[in-house]
Structure 1
Amino acid sequence: MLLPLLRPLDADPDREFRVDLFPPASLQTVGVVRRLLRDMLTATGADPDGPCLILSELLANALLHGDGAPSVALELRCGLLYIAVTDGSIAPPARPEPDVARTCGRGLDLVAALADDWGVELIGVCGKAVRAVAAVDR
């Protein structure tokens, strides 16, 4: 869950941002949204690689397995990037059993490995938000 934007007194507003996106329900938007996050993190001096992979996996999952057009919230505050991707399905994301022969279905394993915290929250009967928090290096 994203927190209200309350900046500490010594925060640098040039190194913090909040963006809410409502991309079309098309897999082509994954790359567009990922490049936007990469550019924004690079502009703040943060390493974009891990957070961009987390975002790509969460957004692709919402598009492939969710319902309706997703929404994306990105917030960088105090060295932490908060990512939330919502969709209209109340079905929780599935993590298949570990299998080294599996060629797909590893996205949430990557999210779990790269994020400092992640989880799923139901939004009543309106869907769910899959969220992740990742520390960014500066």
Structure 2
Amino acid sequence: MPHRFPSGGTGTRTAFFGSQPSQSAQIRSWCQRGVRLPAHRAFPVLVVVSELVANAWLHSASGAECGRVRIQMRHLLERVLLVAVTDDGPRPGQTVCLPRLTPEADALATCGRGLRLVDRLSVEWGWDGEPGRPLTVWAHIDPYAPAHESVEA
């Protein structure tokens, strides 16, 4: 059974940001304030949110002029945070792109590692929605989990 991101509720922080990559620093700042953790503990959250937002901008109407992303964060348990990024759905005429891990990328490739990073830094991740409509990609993150010895992402 998929883990759905709750649509609201106590403790859920929600913000909307536009389609400009120049907003990346503002998004990270909003997340840092929201998690209320020291920088070294917040790092996995910031990386995951940055990757999910970048994918929304690249693969959906969120990256088009007047596009936007919705970011939600919520503490689930003492140590686990739930983060979710909702896009604006596919761009008109664009093939629907669903979030999935691709085979290991070529070590010299310039892209294709984002969801692998999300996978490595999350307890679990997934997506909700209907293909062809806005999608929400979510991740459960334990900022106290030990770092992987080798991150091949």
CA distance in 2, matches of 1:51, 1:44: 10
2:81 aligned partner: 81
CA distance in 2, matches of 1:30, 1:60: 9
Residue among 29, 40, 43 paired with 1:35: 29
TM norm structure 2 = 0.71
Aligned pair count reads 127
Residue among 53, 64, 67 paired with 2:61: 67
Q: Which amino acid aligns with 1:82?
A: L
Q: Is the 8 A contact 1:31 1:56 kept in 2?
A: no
Runs of 5+ in structure 2 lacking a partner?
63-67, 91-95, 146-153
Q: Is the 8 A contact 2:13 2:34 kept in 1?
A: no
CA distance in 1, matches of 2:76, 2:127: 21
Residue among 83, 94, 97 paired with 1:91: 97
Runs of 5+ in structure 1 lacking a partner?
7-16
Identity %: 25
Counterparts in 2 of 1:127 and 1:40: CA distance versus 1, 3 Å: closer
Q: Which amino acid aligns with 1:102?
A: A
Residue among 126, 131, 139 paired with 1:132: 139
Counterparts in 2 of 1:76 and 1:125: CA distance versus 1, 3 Å: same
1:45 Cα deviation (Å)?
Answer: 5.4
CA distance in 2, matches of 1:29, 1:125: 26
TM norm structure 1 = 0.78
Q: Is the 8 A contact 1:123 1:129 kept in 2?
A: no
1:94 Cα deviation (Å)?
Answer: 5.2
Q: Do residues 48 (structure 1) and 42 (structure 2) align? A: yes
